Amino acid sequence: MGGSGGLLAGALLGAGTFCVWSSCWERGPRAPRAPRRVLRRLLDAAGFADVPVPVLLLVCAAAAAAGLLLVPALTGAVVLAVPAAAAGALSPFAALRARARRRRAERSREWPDVVDALTASVRAGAALPDAVCALAVRGPQRLRPAFAGFAAGYRASGAFDAELAHLREQLADPVFDRLAAVLRMTRQVGGSDLGGTLRTLSAYLREDQRARAELLARQSWTVSAARLAAAAPWLVLALLATRPGSLEAYDTPAGAAVLGGGALATVLSYRVMVRLGRLPEPRRVLR
């Protein structure tokens, strides 16, 4: 009994010593896990910076539950419940990616105007923070709210680098990442050729947009045809579902195997098509 009491006292003493030792060290903020970080970036790129990641997961779960319950009730084929649930769970991610690509394409057409406005302010003799704040009035209409937030934050704190980093995370755009790196370097080490650098960046962005637009116009009909080919079998299946009893054959194990194989072939072929036809997207290498 005495030995067990001594062991317990030693364990308590060791735990107390560890707690005192750990309290002497300041802990930084916990980094989010990799999947959570990926979802956070997806929401930011799609324009939902204020939406928490658990809300996105709840929406995916609700869409999966809706597909799991509604599709068998409407078609009478229980075997379609699992593909419908999977499609429902993945549909929010597909919608977010499509919205992020659309917003990135719309912004890419406006960044040369942003760089031109910034160049004009710098050439007029404005200080660099004031030139960036002026974009809240002189910049493109779509980007003015973001730069207005930067201006308000900079006037309140005076921390140019911190507010620029916050704006970079809010916009989540690779073009602005490069522009922010140039501005930060100029702010820290100085530079007399900022106007020339900005003019070169503006010319490069316009040339890149012109080349990308030509490539997208040439491949648009090929991508549309491939999407129609991938969706055609499932459109036929949806038409068959409107007739009572037409999907009873798929409730058998052989029918389920046919549907599973068809779904797998459709997904793989579509992914291969998208991978081969996708233009390289600029990556955020300066995060």
| Pick from 209, 210, 211: nearest CA to 107 | 209
**Is residue 224 situated within a structural domain?**
no
> Are residue 255 and residue 199 in the same domain, yes or no?
no
> According to the model, what pLDDT value does residue 24 have?
57
CB atoms closer than 10 angstroms to residue 258? 14
> Are residue 168 and residue 256 in the same domain, yes or no?
no
> Are residue 156 and residue 95 in the same domain, yes or no?
no
> Are residue 119 and residue 60 in the same domain, yes or no?
no
Q: Which amino acid is at 75?
A: T
CA-only gyration radius of the chain, Å? 27
**Is residue 216 situated within a structural domain?**
no
Alpha helices (H) in 1-109, listed in sequence order: 2-22, 34-45, 53-75, 81-108
For the stretch 53-96, pLDDT in tens is 899 899 999 998 988 888 777 777 777 777 788 888 888 998 99
Q: What CA–CA distance (Å, rounded) separates 131 from 46?
A: 27
Write down the pTM of the prediction. Answer: 0.61
For the stretch 134-154, pLDDT in tens is 888 888 888 888 899 899 988
Give the total residue count for the chain: 287
Decide which of 189, 207, 225 is a domain's last residue: 207
Largest CA distance in the chain: 86
For the stretch 180-232, pLDDT in tens is 888 888 777 665 677 777 888 888 888 888 888 888 777 777 777 777 888 88
pLDDT band at 32 (very low <50, low <70, confident <90, very high): very low
> Are residue 103 and residue 154 in the same domain, yes or no?
no
> Are residue 39 and residue 98 in the same domain, yes or no?
yes
Decide which of 151, 181, 207 is a domain's last residue: 207
For residue 50, give its domain range: 34-108+241-277
Residues 6 or more apart from 61 whose CB is under 8 A from it? Answer: 89
> Are residue 99 and residue 134 in the same domain, yes or no?
no
Contact 126, 120 (CB under 8 A): no
| Pick from 115, 245, 85: nearest CA to 180 | 115
Asked if the model's pLDDT at residue 1 lies above 50, the reply is no
**Is residue 253 situated within a structural domain?**
yes
What angle in degrees, to the nearest 10, is found between the helix axes of 128-138 and 174-189?
150
The tally of domains found in the chain comes to 2
Residues 6 or more apart from 133 whose CB is under 8 A from it? Answer: 147, 150, 151, 154, 155
